[in-house]
Amino acid sequence: MKLGLGTAQLGMDYGVANRNGQTSMAEAREILWAAELNGISVIDTAAVYGDSERVLGMLLPKQHQHTFRIITKLPGLLPQDGSGISSNEVVNRLMESLLRLRQEGVYGVILHRAEDLLSVYGDEVMKGLQKCKRLGLASKIGISVYAEDRVEELISRYPIDLIQVPVNLFDQRLVQNGLLSRCKSLGIEVHARSVFLQGLLCMDPLELPAYFRPHTEQILRFHSFVKEKGMSPVEAAMSYVNDLPVIDTFVCGVNRQEQLLQLIALASKSSHGFDYSDFASSEPSLLNPSLWKIS
């Protein structure tokens, strides 16, 4: 199954469409139970996802007693005072995550910010990641990027095993420009995030925050399309990424076990074969949630 479990909601109030706040501990336990029972293998977390790592550490058994491949993201590493950074700092950050997760190691450790590798400290940061791998603290090392980042430079310059990228019906940039195919040719494992664009694709167009009014026509056109095809917005969004051969895993977060079971059912359905290329956008103001002004 390509579907992986995102855990931002387990540690914080996350997502533009989230009306339930942070998931309770009891519900988180049910979500993890359903995930393992139904063959989900990848869990995605991060040091900056509130209490997510601690919640997982309290609910998951030790490393060799569960079937999950855990991937965590390190917070920004660049010094604010220009003092420099050592490779040991990277190892220490991962060790802090492992303590919270109560695991001896993880499947993957990736950088949350591309600029950590693109800066003058990039080589030292990569040495730290490789040290994590040599020490057995992580099986794979990599980077989380936005489409605006210098992805070609990153994958050409450094020995990256795993890359996490935003891919959804509106954000098809890394698919269309061939960079994900390039990653696959280099043997890099590709994980997609932002499949529902933080829930934006699934929201009622009439309830969207005012910030998205410049994109109303595109959003309404998408909802009209899925209605015509007899699909839900969730089903269309999942079918798009699920059908992409360049994607190894796509990560989705949920607040309730019921939501996860619905995603599992949709991920198991056969392909629709629809062409979604007409919904592709190149507007960072729509595609990059870090630029949204909705508070």
Residue-level pLDDT at 14:
52
Lowest-confidence pick of 71-80, 186-195, 236-245: 71-80
Q: Which of 39, 56, 35, 47 is nearest to 74 (CA)?
A: 47
Interval 77-92 mean pLDDT: 87
Q: What is the pTM of this model?
A: 0.93
Mean pLDDT of the chain: 93
Q: Is residue 294 within 8 Å of residue 211, measured between CB atoms?
A: yes
| pLDDT tens profile 21-52 | 689 999 999 999 999 999 999 999 999 999 99
Is residue 186 scored above 60 in pLDDT?
Answer: yes
Interval 282-288 mean pLDDT: 93
Residue-level pLDDT at 18:
43
Interval 257-264 mean pLDDT: 96
Query: Tokens representing 96?
Result: 């802090």
Is residue 19 scored above 80 in pLDDT?
Answer: no
Residue-level pLDDT at 200:
93
Interval 146-158 mean pLDDT: 94
| pLDDT tens profile 189-236 | 999 999 999 889 999 988 899 999 999 999 999 999 999 999 999 999
In this structure, how many other beta carbons lie within 10 angstroms of the beta carbon of residue 69?
Answer: 17
Residue-level pLDDT at 64:
78
Options 3.40.50.300, 3.20.20.100, 3.40.50.410, 3.40.50.460; CATH of 3-291: 3.20.20.100
Is residue 266 scored above 50 in pLDDT?
Answer: yes
